[in-house]
Amino acid sequence: MAKAKTSKKPAKFSLDEMPRVARKKAGERWSPTRELAHREKTARALFQCVVENDMESFFEIFEAHVEARGLSESLKGIKVPRSTYYSAKATKDPKVSTLSRLMRSVLAA
């Protein structure tokens, strides 16, 4: 069996020999929390879930929005009690009026 060849000494490393790459300008970083706190985008996504009858995604998006803005702040805009939110989340098929109240809470100032 032939003897395995090994490489010779590694080349010396030097920072001076490395090519210079221009750094990107400091820009605004993407923040998922900021996107989820954006009311109009979230309302459009929730409406699309209602149109497609996808309640699991509806509550997943709504929960992410609530985390980004806070439950109290999200629901107090139109005085939706927390019990309405939790009962709608618990049932697999909430009423349309409940969904509309939750969507209005997203758009409320």
Joined tokens for residue 88: 């709608």
- CA–CA–CA angle 12, 18, 19 (5° rounding): 160
Mean pLDDT, range 59-80, rounded to an integer:
76
Binned at pLDDT 50, 70 and 90, residue 63 comes out as: confident
CA 47/CA 104 separation, integer angstroms? 11
- State yes or no: pLDDT of 25 exceeds 70: no
Stated pTM of the model: 0.59
Binned at pLDDT 50, 70 and 90, residue 30 comes out as: low
CA 103/CA 83 separation, integer angstroms? 16
Q: What is the mean pLDDT of the chain?
A: 76
- State yes or no: pLDDT of 2 exceeds 70: yes
